[in-house]
Structure 1
Amino acid sequence: MRSARAAILALALAGLPPAAPAQTDPAKIARAAAQALRDAGRALDAAQGANDRVAALTDTIRAYEQGLAALRAGLRRAAIRERAITLELDAQRAELGRLLGVMMGMERAPEALLLHPAGPLGTARAGMLLGEVTPALQAEAEALRARLQEVALMRSLQESAADTLAEGLAGAQQARTALSKAMSERRTLPRRFAEDPDRLRALLQGSDTLDSFATGLASAGGTTAPDGSAPPDFAARKGRLPLPVQATVLRRAGEADAAGVTRPGLVLATRPLALVTTPVPATIRYRGPLLDYGNVMILEPAEGYLLVLAGLAQVYGDVGEVLPPGHPVGLMGGADPNRQAVLDPVAATGGDRRTETLYMELRQGGRPVNPSDWFTVTRAATRD
């Protein structure tokens, strides 16, 4: 009854002074994300003239990915919040209608409010009670008004995000195109290994599984180039390696998929066209199609270790090149959704559809090890 009375009083709030706009987490997230996307746009312009265009464009793509992810999160929370408030108000609609009828009847006979069956003393006591109740009702009315304003803010936020989304999606695609061009025009990176193409071709033809190919590649070794430098202590970074792509974990090592198949690596779900980078300095040991895994990138972060990334749509680099940490190694497949595709399902998923999968396997001494022991796979990274 108390909340219903507040709802009734809210009908007369037009004459009250305007309240300050509700400051909500979804709004703050979305505004910060919009600013991040504008900053990424300026960074894209600057990257065209940077000395190291590959590094500058890599940072720009990451900024776009993070900004778009934050904007999706803000919109998703805004839609959820709006829906929760709307459902709460709808649940009070029937009670509100009944009480409105009572109040309208009271307004037609206002003199009845001045009388009390117990006489003047009862009327005085009733007036005192009303004086105590009125401030509480007014506070409830203000709270309800703030919630109604919050609904309006959430809707305005989603509407204003359309242009920001369009600019962010277009900017991210432009940055990816520029990165692919920069990778094709770059100077050759240092090399540590000079792979024998005939031996590599024979290994490909003779391997019927990823395990057999990776085992053969590890045992083949390579020739260290004269100017090659030893990589830093990779084992010391165990448990602190970043994931090579913004992703959620679909399946951990040893977890069966729908067909009952288990794998020793992580299956990561990414957004379309996500950028994949090397988490540590590493040498490219193989890049290209492999069996039914699509494009595969196999990196050697240190002697005796191999990092397998399978399922990319596009791969960068040449076998034997030494890559610095955070260097791009490829892009995932798919296509960015248009802005309406992001906005339409926002109440359910926030447009946060991770439709591409990257398989990641870490091998030590020719055998796979659990990547979760090496990479910073947190709860946030594993949450759908």
Structure 2
Amino acid sequence: MIRLAAILMLLAGPVAAQSPSDAATQAAARLAAARVQLDAAGGSRDRVAALTETVRAYEDGLIALRDGMRRVAIRRDTLQTQMDARQAEVSQLLGVLASIGNAPAPLLLLHPSGPLGTARSGMLVADVTPALQAKVGDLKGQLQELALLQALQESAADTLGDGLQGAQEARAALSAAVSDRTDLPQRYTEDSVQTALLMASTDTLAAFADALADSVDVAAPELIPQGDLALPVQGTVLRAYNTADAAGIARPGVVIAARPRALVTTPVAATLLFRGPLLDYGNVIILEPAQDVLFVIGGLAEVYGEAGQVLPAGTPLGLLGGDLPDVDAILTAGTPGTAPAATQTLYLEVRDGQSPVNPGTWFALD
């Protein structure tokens, strides 16, 4: 058995790097870098900006790791299926190698018919050896890759656990940093009584947003829509503008699917007009990025900031709701045929001159 293993090692060539394992390894490195960012954010001059980048880094790393492990699982299943299908071929190949390894080298080339037969047998062995080497190399490469993928899957639980814990710490630190922030300019001071009266007197999101904009008399900058703004949350458009939902209700905005506890940020510098619960939209943020233009963002579980503040682009607005899955659930969701991880939704509506417009006019919806 030792002799056979030595033959396999000598005949087989190096294993080429495989993209699924590379993806998982790189994702783990991104999570490790996010931990370094989190440790350094406490001493940053702008803790909010540093922690915002850290939360984003954790989100990107976890998404990449989930995708990498999904690809690892697919590749491992493919290799296992191929190995199972080659059982007979592998057994035959091992038998041939065992017989070659057990026989003295001179006897392999002798032939009963004499020198001519011996010469022919030598030529035959010379012709067969390269093909045998190629099969052994292919088999060894697959076995090594299968072992690597198995090791990656076994270590993924610890990596995911550390990543989830780090992301939770970063979110908590960000919430605290936003609460302690005092450096944002205040364009106006909110009249909480007037806001409460507006909420009580309106029964639609559009009416409230328009009435709120009319009640706030502040100058806003000019801004030309280019259709290139990033979405407030990392996700994909689930329902397009003015598209009816399962209940047949069409809303003048888009619905974005995202992962639980995803960070929501302002895509451009804007004045915060309102933050808080409103109707059936959950917590709502209303921003005024330009004169007579409103970005209405609904569905948050937590909201940051105070009405009247002027927020720079990329400022955290809050977090989506939902429960973070545990490590086993994430690893299971990384296998083919299971439910997607984007279980939360964010509503985005754009109003220009008290009329809704397609958010694609301002945002890159792709």
Q: TM-score range by the shorter chain?
A: 0.7 to 0.9
Percent identity at matched positions? Answer: 53
Q: In structure 1, the residue corresponding to 2:318 is in which secondary structure?
A: strand
Q: In structure 1, the residue corresponding to 2:244 is in which secondary structure?
A: coil
Q: Taking structure 1 as reference, are residues 119 and 13 closer, same or farther at Cα in structure 2, changes over 3 Å only?
A: closer
Using the alignment, how far apart are the partners of 1:223 and 1:130 within structure 2? 92
Using the alignment, how far apart are the partners of 2:198 and 2:9 within structure 1? 81
Any residues of structure 2 matched to 1:118-133 within 5 Å, and which?
Answer: 128=123, 131-133=126-128
Equivalence for 1:248: 236
Equivalent of 2:136 in 118, 141, 144: 141
Using the alignment, how far apart are the partners of 2:100 and 2:169 within structure 1? 66
Using the alignment, how far apart are the partners of 2:99 and 2:133 within structure 1? 22
CA-CA distance at 1:373 after TM superposition: 3.4
| Structure 2 counterpart of 1:272, one-letter code | P
Equivalent of 2:279 in 287, 291, 295: 291
Equivalence for 1:41: 35
| Structure 2 counterpart of 1:206, one-letter code | S
Using the alignment, how far apart are the partners of 2:77 and 2:336 within structure 1? 11
Equivalence for 2:154: 159
Using the alignment, how far apart are the partners of 1:107 and 1:20 within structure 2? 22
Equivalence for 1:234: 223
CA-CA distance at 1:255 after TM superposition: 3.0
CA-CA distance at 1:39 after TM superposition: 1.9
CA-CA distance at 1:350 after TM superposition: 8.8
Is structure 2 residue 179 aligned with structure 1 residue 184?
A: yes
Equivalent of 1:31 in 25, 43, 55: 25
Q: Taking structure 1 as reference, are residues 105 and 148 closer, same or farther at Cα in structure 2, changes over 3 Å only?
A: closer
**How many matched pairs?**
362
Q: Deviations over 1:329-363 (max 9, x none)?
A: 00111222222222233222799611111111112
| Structure 1 counterpart of 2:50, one-letter code | A
CA-CA distance at 1:101 after TM superposition: 8.7
Q: Taking structure 1 as reference, are residues 255 and 90 closer, same or farther at Cα in structure 2, changes over 3 Å only?
A: farther
Any residues of structure 2 matched to 1:1-384 within 5 Å, and which?
Answer: 14-16=8-10, 19-93=13-87, 128=123, 131-187=126-182, 189-218=184-213, 220-224=214-218, 233-236=222-225, 238-348=226-336, 353-378=341-366
CA contact (8 A) 1:267 1:357 kept: yes
Q: How high is the TM-score relative to the length of structure 2? A: 0.86
| Structure 1 counterpart of 2:18, one-letter code | T
Q: Taking structure 1 as reference, are residues 372 and 137 closer, same or farther at Cα in structure 2, changes over 3 Å only?
A: farther
Q: How high is the TM-score relative to the length of structure 1? A: 0.82
| Structure 2 counterpart of 1:54, one-letter code | V
Equivalence for 1:227: none
Structure 1: tracts of 5 or more residues without a match: 1-9, 225-229, 379-384
Using the alignment, how far apart are the partners of 2:339 and 2:21 within structure 1? 17
CA-CA distance at 1:321 after TM superposition: 0.8
